[in-house]
Amino acid sequence: MYPAATCALHHRNPWELLVATILSAQCTDKRVNEVTPGLFAKYPTPTDFAAVRPEVLAGDIRSTGFFNNKAKSIVGAAKKVVSEFGGSVPQTMEEMLTIPGAARKTANVVLGTAYGIACGVVVDTHVQRIAQRLDLSKNAEPVKIERDLMKAIPKDKWILFAHQIILHGRAQCQARKPKCSECGLDSVCYAKDKTQLAISFQLSAPDRAGLAES
């Protein structure tokens, strides 16, 4: 269904992807992609981000929401990347997790998309919802869902799988009104909140009684 799925956040290098991913929290990728071109023109490098005051950066990213916290994370991330990693975003999960604003989801996005390194599976709200609907995980916590997916999905598919599921969540398997009748996974999905096409039929009284009992 989504053979060429990839990250929807526009970026030219790992640092830009890290910033875009931090901005994407509680914000649409579309909005982030509207903000980042001007942002990266104003602050071309991690050194430029490290030098700006968080309150100033907050004004530049205001439309993405939660701008004060995001500004602090991005400035903190820039300072960390510049001072400890020579201005380059690191390529290990352990190092990524030391960067302000980079939890496992963000780290997996950057490592997988920018470097092609499969350390885990990105678990955002789409992946979390669909993993549960497809019985790939019965857990509610992202870290536990990721562990379940890492067991269920071959490692060489971890990066692509997350991109595919995210696209599927946006296109069909939406939170409130999933388009189950159009879904290619319908035959293997037994989610309790599946939507069904309305079918008009009439039952005799005995049939109605039997249906009620069942």
Could you identify the residue written with the tokens 């780290």? 107
Which residues carry out catalysis?
105, 124
Which residue, among 149, 153, 154, has the nearest Cα to 131 in the 3D structure?
149
Q: Of 82, 75, 38, whose CA–CA distance to 53 is shortest? A: 75
CB distance 105 to 142 below 8 Å: yes
State residue 3 phi and psi, 5-degree precision.
-65, -25
* Amino acid identity, position 85: F
Instruction: Yes or no: say if 100 and 77 are a contact pair by the CB < 8 Å rule.
Output: yes
